[in-house]
Structure 1
């Protein structure tokens, strides 16, 4: 029969607290996975939805939604930005952005033209010019990380300008005009050189990774309880032979 040692009160408290914490972290990770899967479904639905006029949602886009819009304007094609760390870049290349000026509007709309594998300044196709009618998804800009050295755009004098993070505030300051809070990711077009696969960016933390972290947290909770039981189980005394 298994015998148990009476545990100290502090060991019980620490074990319960740790187990509860790990379980709550696991549940939180599962919630994050469900949340991101909801965003992915919304994104997929938006990609095939009929476009709405841009001015309906331009300044205040619906939260956690990705409206497909149609917009008219003219290109500022001589002001192009190259993002050289796009997440879907497997062979080297740049994501190309150009501002679009809308009629009677001081704000500019930054347009994601698409990805060019293996491209740089010297290999850009002809840049857009003139009037344009565009369709695409109105998306949050790429995430901004820690850019050592500050604003990389301010010190560049030649166009196109290159950056490893696309900060809309920096771009607005560089252009000298305010920008809309999101970017327009153009619909795919086989007639252009750009690759336009604007999969919603969860490459660094997809839903599956959240579930893997949840499993780890739940495993830690089980491990804490198992360690507690092992440490407080009395060992049977060894039998000695007195013959």
Structure 2
């Protein structure tokens, strides 16, 4: 028969508190996974929707939504930005961004042309020429890529030649560099087989996809079980060893 030692009150309280904390963290990770899965579904629905007018969502895009919009304007073709660390870059290359001037608007719309593979021998791939005159574009109106810790300050201001290269795309920094305000999001153009750019604008969960949140949830739940298991092992009485008196 298994016997148990009477635990101290503080050990019970500590075990319950730590196990409850781990369970709460696991539930939070499951909530984050569900939230990101809902974003993926909204993104997929938006990508299949018909383009809507840009003006209603230009300055106040709906939160957690990715409108597919139609817009027309002129390229600011001599102001090109190259993002040299896109998450899908496995062969070398850059993500290319160019401002678009809309008729009668002081703000510029930064447009993601797509990923341009490089040879690995050149500092940047050769950029296809942009058309002159007004162009009609359609794509998803997305939040800009995440910004990390960029050491050394404003990398764009230190560059005098175009195109300019950056490892983080920070819209306020780009606006300062252009000397004109930008819209709060970027336009990620729809895929076109006839262009040189690879346009795979999947919503960026490369650092923390839903599956990783579920994995972390399992880890936290495992910690909670381990805490309870350790508590039970420490408070289980050991049977006294038999001695041989012969």
Give the TM-score, by structure 1 length.
0.98
DSSP-derived class of the 1:94 partner: strand
Question: How far did 1:122 drift?
Answer: 5.0
- Kindly indicate whether the alpha-carbon contact (under 8 Å) linking 1:92 and 1:118 is maintained by their aligned counterparts in 2: yes
- Equivalenced residue count is 243
Q: Which runs of 5+ in 2 are unaligned?
A: none
Root-mean-square deviation (CA), in Å? Answer: 1.0
Given that residues 75 and 101 in structure 2 are in contact (C-alpha distance below 8 angstroms), is that contact kept between their aligned partners in structure 1? yes
Q: How does 1:70-89 map to 2 (within 5 A)?
A: 70-89=70-89
Aligned counterparts of 1:222 and 1:179: Cα–Cα separation in 2: 51
| 1:173-207 Cα shifts (integer Å, max 9, x gaps) | 00000000000000001111000010100011000
For residues 60-104 of structure 1, give each alpha carbon's deviation from its aligned partner in whole angstroms, at most 9, with x where no partner exists: 000000000000111101100000000111111100000000111
Match of 1:200 in 2: 203
For 2:13 and 2:151, the matched residues in 1 are separated by: 45
Q: Which residue of 1 aligns with 2:149?
A: 146
Give per-residue Cα distances to partners, 1:191-243, cap 9 Å, x unaligned. Answer: 11000010100011000000000000000000000000000000000111223
Residue 162 of structure 1 is matched in structure 2 by: 165
Superposed displacement of residue 30, structure 1: 0.2
Q: Distance in 2 between matches of 1:191 and 1:214?
A: 44
Answer yes or no: is the 8 Å Cα contact 2:94–2:125 preserved in 1: no
Helix, strand or coil at the partner of 2:112: strand
User: Whole-Å Cα distance in 2 between the matches of residues 105 and 124 of structure 1?
Assistant: 27
1:210 paired with 2:210, answer: no
Match of 1:37 in 2: 37
Residue in 2 aligned with 1:24?
24
Unmatched segments (≥5 aa) in structure 1: none
Secondary structure (helix, strand or coil) at the match of 1:112 reads: strand
Structure 1 stretches of 4+ moved >4 Å: none
SS state at 1:41 partner? helix
CA contact 1:46–1:137 (8 Å) conserved in 2: yes
Q: Any idea what SS the aligned residue of 1:60 has? A: coil
CA distance in structure 2 between the partners assigned to 1:81 and 1:127 by the alignment: 14
Q: Is the 8 A contact 1:121 1:160 kept in 2?
A: no
Tell me the SS of whatever aligns to 2:187. Answer: strand
